A and B are shown apart, each in its own frame.
Chain A
Amino acid sequence: MSLTAKDKAAVKAIWGKIGGKADAIGHEALARMLVVYPQTKTYFSHWSDLSPGSEEVKKHGKTVMGAITGAVDKMDDLVGGLSALSDLHAFKLRVDPGNFKILSHNILVTLAVNFPGDFTPEVHVAVDKFLAAVSSAIADKYR
């Protein structure tokens, strides 16, 4: 399900609206994921505090969302652009790819909560496709 020109424009537009709130969005999405899908906590057993308000969750949400924001400018070649991150996830982190869908869902919920007027069905489908394409690029080196 490849990204059309319309999808790319919609993704760029909503990311423009998100602007400086990207860090907060990343934090909230990660916090929601850890609460709503507790099995995802298994990847963070090395953290001291997995509660939504923790500094570790906030910092990591910023890291992840930062990379996704970076991917907005790489939509014409996500596999190439995210190659290093794919190496990281495949050989070091080894996050089961099923979890990319889970985090993506929580990013969508977070956008709906914070940008209800802008997160129209057309923007929703474009962002869903974009996150799926990013997930696929991250999983590219898995096997």
Chain B
Amino acid sequence: MVEWTDFERATIQDIFSKMDYESVGHNALARCLVVYPWTQRYFGNFGNLYNAAAIMGNPKVAAHGVVVLHGLDRAVKNMDNIKATYAELSVLHSEKLHVDPDNFRLLADCLTIVVASRLGTGFTADVQAAFQKFLAVVGAALTKQYH
């Protein structure tokens, strides 16, 4: 089981309680599609993803970014049981969506960068460590049911 310090718990709750899901979700997913263009393979039906401007302005990307971010809520609310909480979503990503688990790390990195740019100096090294640990645990839980 994952051990969380009081600081880590408080940091995660704090970041998500103050987060602008619409904006952060949109920006994180769009950034992922721009910075790691091969991730576009999962969004063939999203329409125009030809360049950064098109991706940033694409309403399907914006909507889906919010969906993904709200998916993280489950982990925020169940930090002591993330593995079990994500069992179903893991099966979905493996069996239905066929997402290479490497992508979880790529999106996590983009989300880290977006949150860093919003929090500025508030995103200290310790806060960064807690946030990245949280995303790594979520990524591992989403990978758990792959076979």
Contact = CB atoms under 8 A, between A and B. Distances in A.
Same complex for A and B? Answer yes
Interface of A: 31-32, 34-36, 52, 105, 108-109, 112-114, 116, 119-122, 124-125, 128
Contacts of B119: 113
A113 B117 contact: yes
Contact of A121 (B52, B112, B123): B52
B97 interface: no
B125 A52 contact: yes
A102 to B, nearest CB: 11
B121 A113 contact: yes
B56 interface: yes
Contact of A109 (B56, B126, B128): B128
Interface in B97-147: 109, 112-114, 116-121, 123, 125-126, 128-129, 132
B109 A32 contact: no
B34 interface: yes
Interface residues of B, number: 23
Given A124-B34, A125-B34, A125-B35, A36 B129 contact: yes
Contacts of B75: none
Nearest to A122: B52
A114 B120 CA distance: 7
30 contacts: A31-B125, A32-B125, A32-B128, A34-B125, A35-B128, A35-B129, A36-B125, A36-B128, A36-B129, A36-B132, A108-B113, A109-B112, A109-B113, A109-B123, A109-B128, A113-B119, A113-B123, A116-B118, A119-B113, A119-B117, A121-B30, A121-B31, A121-B35, A121-B55, A122-B52, A124-B31, A124-B35, A124-B113, A125-B35, A128-B35
B120 A116 contact: yes
A105 B116 contact: no
B122 to A, nearest CB: 9
Nearest to A35: B125
A120 B119 CA distance: 16
A110 B4 CA distance: 25
A34 B128 CA distance: 12
B34 to A, nearest CB: 4
Contacts of B123: 109, 113
B57 to A, nearest CB: 12
A112 B34 contact: no
B15 to A, nearest CB: 14
Nearest to A128: B35
A111 to B, nearest CB: 9
